[in-house]
Structure 1
Amino acid sequence: MATLTSEFTVVDQHRTDRRSPIRWILSHQWRYRRYLVGLLGGSLVMVILNSAIPGLTGAAFDAVLTGGESGRSRLVLIVVALIAIVLLRGVFDLAARMCTEILAKRLERNAREELYTSLLGKSQTFHTRQRVGDLMARAANDVRQLSAMVSPGLDLIVDSMLQGLVPLVFIALIDPRLLLSPLLFGVAFGLSLRHYMRRLNPVSIRMREQFGTLNAGLNEAVRGIEVVKVTAQEAQERRQFETNARAYRDSFVEQGLVQARYLPPLLLAVGTAGALLHGLVLYRGGELTLGDLVAYLGLMGLLQFPTMISIFTFSLVQLGIVSARRIITLMDDEAELDQNPQGHQGRMRGELVFEDVSFGYGDDPVLRNLSFRAEPGQTVAIVGETGSGKSTMTKLVNRIYDPDKGRILIDGTDVRDWTLDSLRSQISTIEQDIVLFSRPVAENIAFSLGQRADRDEVVRAAKDAQAHGFIEELDEGYDTVIGERGVTLSGGQRQRLAIARALLTDPSILVLDDSTSAIDSATEDGIQRAIRRILQGRTTLLITHRLSQIRWADKVLLIQRGELIDQGTHDELLERCPLYRRIFAHYDEVTHPSPDGHADEEWGQLPAAGDGRVATAVPAYDGEEV
């Protein structure tokens, strides 16, 4: 069975090979083969022309020593040839550099698009366990490192490799015996470079990981700046940032120490000295001309470029490969859910059934053997203490998570048998933590429908959510751009926009997770009337502590520590369920404390029956929190 890496997949005609970072990079580059050919061809011609210059320089020495008319004629031809070579070299060099830049920027663009598409398709479980700052570091800095790996990294490596090989051919044309020193240098250079890369690799990995940690810490501090300010913990956050920044700095220092022990420049100096000695021996023996010796030493000088530039280029390539590995690891992280494109589709009626459902995060059980039924159009209120699993239960309905045991049916079909798109497009959720985007108000309301929603529908949904009034008071009305996460709006205004967004999708099932907690009672009354009017024929799961909302629910589920204690109408539970009665008696005591002045706040500490405290519900609490 194939490994799942995303919930939703996007058809891509350009499939990439993720078996290794190098294969993945090459599969991206192979899409632009003509530019690869342009890079390799242009660089090859440029290096050949460059390597011809020492030979012409040596020939010029011989022409000067020859003297006479023939020597002057040869010298003129050499000068013309040198000018032509320099001009042609510039043209081919420019073409190769342009091809490199195109390859680099397209790799960066395509890698970022592939990563972004992969992140959109990942499950909620995946995103829950990721640090946003580290994700941003991979999506921004690691992807940008791929571009630097190609240009100037790969570009210079191609030039340096050709610059190391082509001169050997020209040396062999002068005298094959002269290859002794450059070949010995080449072997030593290869071994030294291999040792250098093996030492550099773990340092590069730590650098990228520490950058992700640094970026994640910075992101968390900025996102939680309000908490930092109100708790006066600026000094603590500064120390934490300094610790992360110091670790990142230390990795750079370690990289510098590795680079400081880079041996090829020393090996080149030894090789050049050996080449000069060898050439002088042959020259004194009359087997080389002075021009040949000059050309030979000029060609040996060309080896200085690949030797000196490799300390820089291979570091860039190593960082690029490490970045590619980090990106691939993220994209190949296994998904828990499947899009199920061949699954059931259709318009929901809204019948919802839980059959012996259990679920936990890892080894921590949250829900145990939960069973209930909601008929189409019913409103089911879910009541329980904090941490009892109420929100988790609703996340099983739209398959944010799948149950560990049992099954959940919608209209008689297991939710796992629905296509994920059809399932989630007909279920709307409004949570306490409202997510808004830095976009106009109208776009935030119409987010679930994208371009399909017109302005009249947006306005109608806003009116139903009691949001139209304050939107009209904004500077540009529905075209006002709100801040990230709605920071320019009050909590109640953000919740009303979220309700409008949910109502616009015309859901068959609506989940309200304490969605009116930040709204005043008068506004809430209007919203509740609008919701009750609009939700005719729709199934609603309502997580709430407000008695006014619990009363008009068709069914109430009482959850304690992940187990369903009882279910029924509000009045039925008051009549037969001691725990349910004690809940409201407890809140009565919070409002009217007993003479000792103490009041229990956690449901797990509720007074036992018969301890003398009030044990009757107080119907007059309309609008009060329960």
Structure 2
Amino acid sequence: MTSPPKTGLSLYLRLLRHVRLYWKMFAGALLAMAVTAAAEPAIPALFKPLLDGSFVQKDPDMIRLIPLVMIALFVVRGLADFAATYGMNWVGSRLVMDLRTAMFRKLVAMPTRFYDDSSTGTLIAHIVFNVTQVTQSATSAVTLLVRDTLAIAGLLGWLLWLNWKLTLIIIAIAPLAIFIIRTVSGRLRNINRQAQQNLGEITHVVEESVGAHKVVKIFGGQDYELQRFGTAVNNARRYFMKGISAAAANGPVVQLVAALGVALVVYIATQQAQRGELTVGGFVSYMIAMLMIFGPVKRLTGVNEQLQRGLAAAEVVFELIDRDTETDTGSQVIGRARGALEFRHVTLAYPDKPTPALNDINLAIRPGETVALVGASGSGKTSLVNLIPRFYTPDSGQILLDGQVITDITLASLRANIALVSQDVVLFNDSIAANIAYGAQAGATAAHIIRAAEAAHAMEFICEQPHGLQTMVGENGVKLSGGQRQRIAIARALLKDAPVLILDEATSALDTQSERHVQAALEALMQGRTTLVIAHRLSTIENADRIAVMQQGRIIEIGSHRELLDKNGAYAHLHRLQFHEPK
């Protein structure tokens, strides 16, 4: 695995490389920040000469001009602030979208051992939550440092003079400002509700893809999952920008209301000055400068916290992005295989396990032959079949498909020749048709889908569904029974029509009636295919061509059902235990 950057500077520079893709929007936002920062000290700077001219000289033209100038200045400032906020957050949302897509692309390409060592919840949190913190370093900190530092530098020159008493008039506009804030807050709440729902969709897609990574790999569903994920994260970006638009508009609108109040203060003050009730208008300039400086100072005090939180999140994000993906050492692209499999002195050990999961396995399987694997839990059955699609790589020995070492075959073409049906059926929250025609088979016609469903004995219950093949199955097929879910998985394997079939406890969790339906479907599926069957129920594999009995990672017996019973060895002992037969 490639080590991620460790220093804050290197992390920040790497983030800026991602931002560079959107440099035009980024530069425009910086320019808008400069305009905003210049407008802040310009406001009190203009107040003093304008008010002095009005109060002292009592120029009627100046009296009328002052409110208009102030309103115009606040309008310019508000537009620039909106442009800067929107532009920076647009860049930030694009950065989040790009990083999320890069992380998810990495996830669907990770080896099986990675999932064995990783928490699904942690992976989801990295993509859903941690990556959003990165924008605090890439965009938010830049906004604060550039805009607020310039604004404070300008405003500090005007805090030496003026009288604070006129600021009391600003309190009169508070109810209107509160009304505007509450109105915008209501819209933000609605947008946030939609965003939270969309966040659940993102989590759902990620959780499904991580939990079903074997099915995604076997059936070539990486592109489909990327498409689903891309749609979800783009919706998240759109909701985010709606919220930013509302929030960004809130500040300028409130400030415009405040500007109207300031204009009112100036107008009243000049009227009173004409009557000799007020002195120089520099007091108003002080009031504006004092009020305007509080916000930038408050924001700058928290910039380091945001920066460090964002850099910490960036380290986690890049740690995942920099991980090595599943290694594809193969260079040979094969077509449809005949299905001859051979294991030659295969040994496999898992990290932190005291004994090997497989120890010197030798097994040759003819094309079209059905071989059942039986034995106690932990004897190595699942480990053996997981080597065929290269979910794991043996520590020693070779596995051959049609006489060719499978590590020399590309992963895509190897897995295109393998179908998998397991006890833990994986269905996606989509229609029945989409679950049957999944991944590389997504372009199958309705006729082919129906034919596969009929062969899997599934059409009888599909026709009873409210929308037939277009019925949504719910999360992991929650709307269907166990037998129905299993038959959809069998239909998916039938549609793929792969020459090598792996059945991993495909009927172990079913009731008797469901098992009969599923067993009939499996018999149709197994016709003409090289099949490896893992089963605890020995009654389901009596017709297998051969049965291999495994114990502590070794094959200790192999033969037909009758041959093994006559041998009166380990298989016969298992048979007696299940059927309560006397010795």
TM-score (norm 2): 0.70
Partner of 2:554: 563
Distance in 1 between residues matched to 2:349 and 2:527, nearest whole Å: 33
Distance in 2 between residues matched to 1:547 and 1:78, nearest whole Å: 94
CA shift for structure 1 position 42: 0.7
Partner of 2:491: 500
Whether 1:380 and 2:371 are equivalent positions in the alignment is yes
Whether 1:310 and 2:310 are equivalent positions in the alignment is no
Selected match of 2:430 from 425, 430, 439: 439
Selected match of 1:120 from 80, 102, 108: 108
What secondary structure is seen at the aligned counterpart in 1 of 2:438?
A: coil
Partner of 1:348: 337
Deviations 1:168-218 (A, max 9, x none): 8x79xxxxxxxxxxxxxxxxxxxxxxxxxxxxxxxxxxxxxxxxxxx9xxx
Deviations 1:384-407 (A, max 9, x none): 111111011111110111111112
Distance in 1 between residues matched to 2:100 and 2:494, nearest whole Å: 34
Partner of 1:98: 86
What secondary structure is seen at the aligned counterpart in 2 of 1:32?
A: helix
- Contact 1:55–1:292 (CA under 8 A) maintained in structure 2: no
Distance in 2 between residues matched to 1:294 and 1:455, nearest whole Å: 76
What secondary structure is seen at the aligned counterpart in 1 of 2:335?
A: coil
Higher relative contact order (CA 8 A, sep 6+): 2
CA shift for structure 1 position 296: 9.7
Distance in 2 between residues matched to 1:555 and 1:463, nearest whole Å: 28
From the superposition, tell whether residues 84 and 530 of structure 1 become closer, same or farther in structure 2 (CA, over 3 Å). Answer: closer
Q: Which amino acid aligns with 1:508?
A: P
Partner of 1:426: 417
**Gaps spanning 5+ residues in structure 1: where?**
6-16, 172-214, 224-289, 593-613, 616-626
Distance in 2 between residues matched to 1:82 and 1:498, nearest whole Å: 70
CA shift for structure 1 position 126: 1.6
Selected match of 2:351 from 351, 354, 362: 362
Whether 1:34 and 2:24 are equivalent positions in the alignment is yes
Q: Which amino acid aligns with 1:513?
A: D
Q: Which amino acid aligns with 2:530?
A: T
Whether 1:139 and 2:127 are equivalent positions in the alignment is yes
Q: Which amino acid aligns with 1:379?
A: T
Q: Which amino acid aligns with 2:124?
A: M
Distance in 2 between residues matched to 1:19 and 1:568, nearest whole Å: 65
- Contact 2:349–2:357 (CA under 8 A) maintained in structure 1: yes
CA shift for structure 1 position 93: 2.1
- Contact 1:380–1:542 (CA under 8 A) maintained in structure 2: yes
Q: Which amino acid aligns with 2:387?
A: L
CA shift for structure 1 position 444: 1.3
Distance in 1 between residues matched to 2:480 and 2:288, nearest whole Å: 71
Partner of 2:75: 87
From the superposition, tell whether residues 308 and 26 of structure 1 become closer, same or farther in structure 2 (CA, over 3 Å). Answer: same
CA shift for structure 1 position 360: 1.9
Whether 1:542 and 2:542 are equivalent positions in the alignment is no
- Contact 1:511–1:542 (CA under 8 A) maintained in structure 2: yes
Distance in 2 between residues matched to 1:154 and 1:444, nearest whole Å: 46
- Contact 1:100–1:150 (CA under 8 A) maintained in structure 2: no
From the superposition, tell whether residues 399 and 523 of structure 1 become closer, same or farther in structure 2 (CA, over 3 Å). Answer: same
What secondary structure is seen at the aligned counterpart in 2 of 1:319?
A: helix
Whether 1:579 and 2:567 are equivalent positions in the alignment is no
Q: Which amino acid aligns with 2:102?
A: E
From the superposition, tell whether residues 19 and 314 of structure 1 become closer, same or farther in structure 2 (CA, over 3 Å). Answer: closer
Deviations 1:238-271 (A, max 9, x none): xxxxxxxxxxxxxxxxxxxxxxxxxxxxxxxxxx
- Contact 1:464–1:500 (CA under 8 A) maintained in structure 2: yes
Identity %: 34
Distance in 2 between residues matched to 1:581 and 1:41, nearest whole Å: 82
From the superposition, tell whether residues 48 and 507 of structure 1 become closer, same or farther in structure 2 (CA, over 3 Å). Answer: same
Selected match of 1:43 from 19, 33, 42: 33
Selected match of 1:456 from 447, 452, 455: 447
What secondary structure is seen at the aligned counterpart in 2 of 1:344?
A: coil
From the superposition, tell whether residues 78 and 532 of structure 1 become closer, same or farther in structure 2 (CA, over 3 Å). Answer: closer
From the superposition, tell whether residues 568 and 42 of structure 1 become closer, same or farther in structure 2 (CA, over 3 Å). Answer: same
Distance in 2 between residues matched to 1:124 and 1:552, nearest whole Å: 32
Selected match of 1:331 from 296, 317, 321: 321
Distance in 2 between residues matched to 1:30 and 1:350, nearest whole Å: 50
Distance in 2 between residues matched to 1:295 and 1:341, nearest whole Å: 75
Distance in 2 between residues matched to 1:26 and 1:157, nearest whole Å: 16
What secondary structure is seen at the aligned counterpart in 1 of 2:99?
A: helix
From the superposition, tell whether residues 410 and 319 of structure 1 become closer, same or farther in structure 2 (CA, over 3 Å). Answer: same
**Gaps spanning 5+ residues in structure 2: where?**
159-202, 212-279
Distance in 1 between residues matched to 2:452 and 2:136, nearest whole Å: 48
What secondary structure is seen at the aligned counterpart in 2 of 1:449?
A: helix
From the superposition, tell whether residues 526 and 297 of structure 1 become closer, same or farther in structure 2 (CA, over 3 Å). Answer: closer
Deviations 1:105-124 (A, max 9, x none): 22232222222222212222
Distance in 2 between residues matched to 1:291 and 1:570, nearest whole Å: 105
Distance in 2 between residues matched to 1:529 and 1:76, nearest whole Å: 92
- Contact 2:3–2:319 (CA under 8 A) maintained in structure 1: no
* Higher alpha-carbon deviation: 128-137 or 464-473: 128-137
- Contact 2:490–2:521 (CA under 8 A) maintained in structure 1: no
Q: Which amino acid aligns with 1:581?
A: A
Distance in 2 between residues matched to 1:429 and 1:414, nearest whole Å: 20
Selected match of 1:410 from 394, 401, 409: 401
- Contact 2:19–2:138 (CA under 8 A) maintained in structure 1: no
CA shift for structure 1 position 51: 1.9
CA shift for structure 1 position 74: 7.9
Distance in 2 between residues matched to 1:522 and 1:491, nearest whole Å: 11
What secondary structure is seen at the aligned counterpart in 1 of 2:359?
A: strand
- Contact 1:20–1:325 (CA under 8 A) maintained in structure 2: no
Distance in 1 between residues matched to 2:115 and 2:297, nearest whole Å: 45
Q: What is the aligned residue count?
A: 463
Deviations 1:86-133 (A, max 9, x none): 332233223222212322322232222222222212222222322222
CA shift for structure 1 position 439: 1.4
From the superposition, tell whether residues 517 and 162 of structure 1 become closer, same or farther in structure 2 (CA, over 3 Å). Answer: same
Deviations 1:294-345 (A, max 9, x none): 989987886544321123444334333322222222333344x313474433
From the superposition, tell whether residues 483 and 495 of structure 1 become closer, same or farther in structure 2 (CA, over 3 Å). Answer: same
CA shift for structure 1 position 524: 4.3
Distance in 2 between residues matched to 1:400 and 1:453, nearest whole Å: 26
CA-based RMSD:
3.6
Matches within 5 A, 1:470-485: 470-485=461-476
Whether 1:389 and 2:389 are equivalent positions in the alignment is no
Deviations 1:502-546 (A, max 9, x none): 111001110001102234556545554554445343210011133
Distance in 1 between residues matched to 2:23 and 2:108, nearest whole Å: 29
Distance in 2 between residues matched to 1:147 and 1:470, nearest whole Å: 49
Matches within 5 A, 1:262-273: none
- Contact 1:448–1:505 (CA under 8 A) maintained in structure 2: no
Distance in 2 between residues matched to 1:303 and 1:68, nearest whole Å: 30
- Contact 1:154–1:317 (CA under 8 A) maintained in structure 2: no
Deviations 1:588-607 (A, max 9, x none): 4xx35xxxxxxxxxxxxxxx
Q: Which amino acid aligns with 1:432?
A: Q
